[in-house]
């Protein structure tokens, strides 16, 4: 059953049932719903007296769509389904406009994706002890504005997937390797809205 709320613009949006099951401390949610194999819609929801959708935008997800719950694997090209915390944010500038904790990514900052490394699925400053890792200050600027999606972080399960972020897309028709991505303007808008005090989460379903 869908519950409806009235938006400030005078139109209605169905409240996703998953929002109604969240812990009461959660007051911000990014809801991502696939509309094609790698295309999706992303809605920004804020809870005050009730849940209200602030806006929704186009997004892309993994090239192979969403993984079923518990089935995400390293390198499968799928975005994990489920509900995960959002933050911290990171990017290339010393500081950005966001209510999330923020960290600047430099030339010696990496994210480890080697399942055999003790540093798997972690941010590492300095050359990692791993056979495979991703540079966080990319030359293509996809991580100029980004947020860590708290997938496979507590506990970290080797091989279950790593480096899952919300970040800038390459193009509207270019899927990710497993992340969620939007255009740069919308990424900055999302970052400006998100606030750690509202315990933000992302819902992928």
For 28, the token pair is: 């911000």
Cα–Cα nearest to 106, from 128, 136, 143, 127: 136
Domain-embedded: residue 5: no
Residue 100 has what DSSP assignment? S
User: In terms of residue numbers, what domain contains 58?
Assistant: 12-204
Q: What is the mean pLDDT of residues 41-53?
A: 97
Domain-embedded: residue 168: yes
pLDDT in tens, 78-112: 999 999 999 999 999 999 999 999 999 999 999 99
Look up tokens 């295309």; give the residue: 39
Roughly how many angstroms between the first and final C-alpha of the chain, as a whole number? 16
Helix, strand, or coil (residue 194): coil
Domain-embedded: residue 2: no
- Check pLDDT > 50 for residue 182: yes
Residue 176 has what DSSP assignment? B
Domain-embedded: residue 118: yes
DSSP for 56-87?
Answer: EEEEE-BTT-EEPTT---TTS--EEPEEEEEE
Domain-embedded: residue 7: no
What is the band of 4 on the pLDDT scale with cuts at 50, 70, 90?
Answer: very low
Q: Residue 127: what pLDDT? A: 94
Q: What is the mean pLDDT of residues 137-153?
A: 98
Domain-embedded: residue 188: yes
Number of domains within the chain:
1
pTM to 2 decimal places: 0.93
- Check pLDDT > 60 for residue 205: yes
Which residues are within 8 A (CB) of 154 and not within 5 positions of it... i.e. 6 or more apart?
none
What is the band of 12 on the pLDDT scale with cuts at 50, 70, 90?
Answer: low
Domain-embedded: residue 4: no
Domain-embedded: residue 3: no
């Amino acid at each position: 059953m869908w519950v409806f709320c009235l938006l400030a613009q005078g139109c209605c949006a169905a409240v996703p049932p998953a929002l109604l099951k969240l812990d009461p401390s959660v007051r911000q949610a990014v809801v991502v719903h696939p509309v094609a194999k790698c295309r999706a819609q992303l809605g920004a929801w804020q809870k005050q007296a009730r849940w209200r959708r602030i806006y929704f935008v186009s997004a892309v997800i993994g090239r192979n769509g969403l993984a079923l719950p518990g089935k995400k694997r390293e390198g499968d090209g799928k975005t994990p389904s489920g509900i995960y915390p959002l933050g911290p944010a990171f990017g290339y500038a010393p500081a950005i406009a966001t209510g999330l904790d923020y960290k600047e990514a430099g030339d010696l900052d990496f994210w480890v994706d080697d399942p055999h490394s003790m540093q798997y699925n972690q941010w590492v400053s300095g050359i990692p002890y791993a056979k495979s890792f991703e540079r966080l200050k990319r030359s293509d600027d996809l991580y100029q504005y980004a947020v860590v999606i708290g997938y496979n972080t507590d506990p970290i399960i080797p091989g279950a997937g790593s480096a899952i972020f919300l970040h800038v897309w390459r193009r509207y028709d270019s899927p990710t390797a497993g992340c969620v991505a939007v255009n740069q303007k919308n990424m900055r808008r999302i970052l400006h809205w998100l606030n750690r005090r509202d315990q933000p989460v992302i819902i992928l379903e």
